Amino acid sequence: MGQGEPSDLEILVVDDDPDVLEIASASLAAEGYRIYQARNASDALKILDEHRTIALLFTDIVMPGSLDGFDLAERAKARRPGLRVIYTSGYLKEEGVWDGLLLTKPWSAEDLKSAVADTWPTTYPRGNRPRRH
């Protein structure tokens, strides 16, 4: 998929840091994905309930409030079996075992695009997937 071409993939981006939220959203929107944003897990769950076509969750793990990214993913998957998840954190480094990919902060736009391609490989035609560094 080329830059800016439309995609059927809808992604919910969740991060309490407004700069990270905007950078991730803009990077993914530039690839043609439809993006929804939330600054916490509670808002993210509401968005998931309102937009049943969201297929990928990109969430920070450490967030303020009663739900962290792991809690969000667990509840989101209970609501939406088959939902795929990419986690991000500046604190964790693959120490845990969870269902989904971990993208450690700081990440680049290319890292994020590669993570999406690894998690949802049908979004890139054969041979056009971004390469991991």
Tell me which amino acid residue 96 is.
G
pLDDT digits (tens, 9 = 90+) for 92-113: 665 555 677 889 899 999 999 9
> Which pTM does this prediction carry?
0.84
Q: What is the pLDDT of residue 15?
A: 97
Strands 84-89 and 34-38 turn out to be unpaired
Residue 117 resides in a domain: yes
Q: What is the pLDDT of residue 124?
A: 41
Rounded to 5°, the CA angle 121-125-129 comes to 65
Edge-to-edge strand ranges of the sheet holding 10-14: 34-38, 10-14, 56-60, 84-89, 101-104
Per-residue pLDDT band at 52 (split at 50, 70, 90): very high
Q: What is the pLDDT of residue 8?
A: 82
Residue 131 resides in a domain: no
Residue 48 resides in a domain: yes
Residue 129 resides in a domain: no
Residue 128 resides in a domain: no
Domain that holds residue 78: 10-123
H or E stretch covering 49: helix 41-50
Mean pLDDT of the chain: 84
Q: What are phi and psi of 47, to 5 degrees?
A: -65, -40
Per-residue pLDDT band at 41 (split at 50, 70, 90): very high
How many folded domains does the chain comprise?
A: 1
Residue 96 resides in a domain: yes
Tell me which amino acid residue 25 is.
S
With 90 as the cut, is the pLDDT of residue 58 above it? Answer: yes
Residue 26 resides in a domain: yes
Regarding predicted confidence, which is higher, 72 or 118? 72
CATH number of the domain where residue 27 is located: 3.40.50.2300
pLDDT digits (tens, 9 = 90+) for 12-21: 999 999 999 9
Q: What are phi and psi of 115, to 5 degrees?
A: -65, -40
Q: What is the pLDDT of residue 2?
A: 47
Residue 132 resides in a domain: no
With 50 as the cut, is the pLDDT of residue 39 above it? Answer: yes
